[in-house]
Copies of this chain bind each other. A is one copy, B any other.
Amino acid sequence: MNVKAERISELTVNRLSVYLRCLDELSAQGVVTISSRSLAERFSLNSAQIRKDLAYFGEFGVRGLGYNIDDLRKHLTSILGLNAAHRVGVIGAGNLGTALANYEGFSGGSFAVVALFDSDPAKIGSQISGHIPIYDVADFARKATEISIDIAALAVPAHAANFALSTVVSAGIKAVLNFAPIRLNAPDGVKIKHVDLLVSLESLSYFLARSPLEAKAAFEA
């Protein structure tokens, strides 16, 4: 079977993100090379899965020596499209939008919230953290072009989510991160990722509902 001919699933892409985070941590610790087995052991991953996931994208690593961490980081950065920073526009300047604008997890530099958009006249014209502007959502298309937004995050109530989606899609945005608790249908050529807190919470609920022993086995799978 030629793995390269298979389609790359979203789960594979998610795992590449996780590998990149692990390699960043190792690099910060001064580690230079690592085998798939050590990588798996240190971060509770699956070594066969690591080898298979990376094999989709070519030959990395040297048998017996493992992966050169900086090389592999560069490859993963390139595969994930992270060579240039993405510019994120957040629709909704409420608590969630503000939290996103301040999110420390973006400090790595691959993503930057460059503007928020709202319809509340009291918010329009002000700034978050002293430098991220809040614009009128009615100006989204013009501003998005002007400041090169390529990802939109929807931090609006459920009833406003479809309108927000159509606003960003008609402005040519192809990638959307949706926080509203509602199913949105992606138009052709547009990718939507849902941040669904209920799925995470229900997984915790399942864990709490099992006996300690059963839950332990379940989550080691």
Contacts and interface: CB of A to CB of B under 8 A. Distances in A.
Contacts of A102: 95
A44 to B, nearest CB: 9
Interface residues of A, number: 71
A191 B212 CA distance: 11
A206 B81 contact: yes
Interface of chain A, main secondary structure:
helix
Interface string A196-209: 11111111111111
A151 interface: yes
For the complex formed by this chain, how many copies does it contain in all? 2
Interface stretch (A7-15, A28-36, A58-66, A67-75): A7-15
Given A79-B206, A110-B202, A195-B200, A221 B103 contact: no
A212 B205 CA distance: 39
A94 interface: yes
Interface string A167-183: 00000001111001101
A175 B207 contact: yes
Contacts of A184: none
Contact of A209 (B80, B95, B203, B219): B80
A220 interface: yes
A130 interface: no
A183 B45 CA distance: 14
